Every structure is written in structure tokens, then in C-alpha cells.
Amino acid sequence: MGIPLLGDDIYGGTKSMALSLLQPRILQSYHSQLSLLLSGLERPCLHAVALGFTHPHTAEKMHFTCSPPPDFANILSELREMG
């Protein structure tokens, strides 16, 4: 995708990188809120809501779902509100 994973400081997904990518896309009135939101980020923002594969031995189609954890869901919700 060409964009580092938010919260992955090792591969360029730093908070400052996220600010530089997101600030031009939101109203200036949200910039302080965005900075505050990202400052509380303590882990990479990666979550699979659904995963599926064919079992290698039984050929059964496997499917798993899991809602995002509360901290991740909160970040998504606040980013959506910002536009």
C-alpha cells in the first residue's frame, strides 16, 4: 500500500508521520484533537476483523471474526468524526 503502519516506529509509522499525512485531510480545528489522539497511541494500529482460509488437511473453509479492541475502535471512531 505504500503507507507505514500507524504506531510502527521501526518501519516509519511514527506519530509525526501520521500527523503529516492526516492533518491536510481534516479541518484545522481538529489538528489539536488529532495530536492528542495520536499521543495516546501505545501500539501499532493493526487488527483483522475477519480472517479466512482453507484448512490444509481437511479442506474445510475456516472463518474467524473479532471486533477491534476498545482502544483501536476508539481511534477509528475519532478519526471518522474528524473527516
In a domain, 72, yes or no: yes
Please report the pLDDT score of residue 48 as a whole number: 94
Closest residue by Cα to residue 75 from 32, 45, 31: 45
User: Which positions of the chain have pLDDT values less than 50?
Assistant: none
Q: Vertex 68, ends 48 and 54: CA angle to 5°?
A: 30
Q: Residue 24 — φ and ψ, nearest 5°?
A: -65, -15
Please report the pLDDT score of residue 1 as a whole number: 60
In a domain, 1, yes or no: no
Cα 43 to Cα 71: distance, rounded to the nearest angstrom: 10
Residue-level length of the chain: 83
Q: For the chain, what is the domain count?
A: 1
Print the domain residue range for 27.
Answer: 9-82
